[in-house]
Amino acid sequence: DSGVTQTPKHLITATGQRVTLRCSPRSGDLSVYWYQQSLDQGLQFLIHYYNGEERAKGNILERFSAQQFPDLHSELNLSSLELGDSALYFCASSVALAGAGYTFGSGTRLTVV
């Protein structure tokens, strides 16, 4: 157990729907990063939050949004889902602002049908 908790582990939904993925960081970690892992794109950085504030955006679609709450858990919202959004979504946390010492969760496998 890495200490980073992601729920749900699996999610199957239809095109056009909206889902919310949840991440609880390791105790004491202030940074949360979201990544999308697909077979053809590898691990793609989506967004970074630090202590409740958005710090960086990567290749995140406008249909996707995220937030980090006062208790430091984070949610990734995916809307108007398309078949191509099917992927593993990972969050990682770290204690610092910079990228050292990431700890990843086990991921949420999203299947859009």
Partner 1 sequence: QQQVKQSPQSLIVQKGGISIINCAYENTAFDYFPWYQQFPGKGPALLIAIRPDVSEKKEGRFTISFNKSAKQFSLHIMDSQPGDSATYFCAASGGSARQLTFGSGTQLTVLP
Cβ-based nearer residue to partner 1, 19 or 35:
35
Is residue 3 within the footprint of partner 1 (CB under 8 A)? no
Is residue 92 within the footprint of partner 1 (CB under 8 A)? yes
Selection from 49, 18, 52, 17 nearest residue 34 by Cα? 49
Other CB atoms within a 10 A radius of the CB of residue 21 amount to: 22
Q: Which residues of 78-90 are buried (b: 16+ CB within 10 A; e: fewer)?
A: beebeeebbbbbb
Pick from 15, 17, 99, 113 the residue near partner 1 by CB under 8 A: 99
Cβ-based nearer residue to partner 1, 15 or 56:
56
Selection from 46, 32, 29, 25 nearest residue 88 by Cα? 46
| Residue 80 Cβ vs partner 1, minimum distance, rounded to whole Å | 25
Pick from 16, 97, 111, 113 the residue near partner 1 by CB under 8 A: 97
Cβ-based nearer residue to partner 1, 48 or 78:
48
Residues in the chain: 113
Cβ-based nearer residue to partner 1, 16 or 101:
101
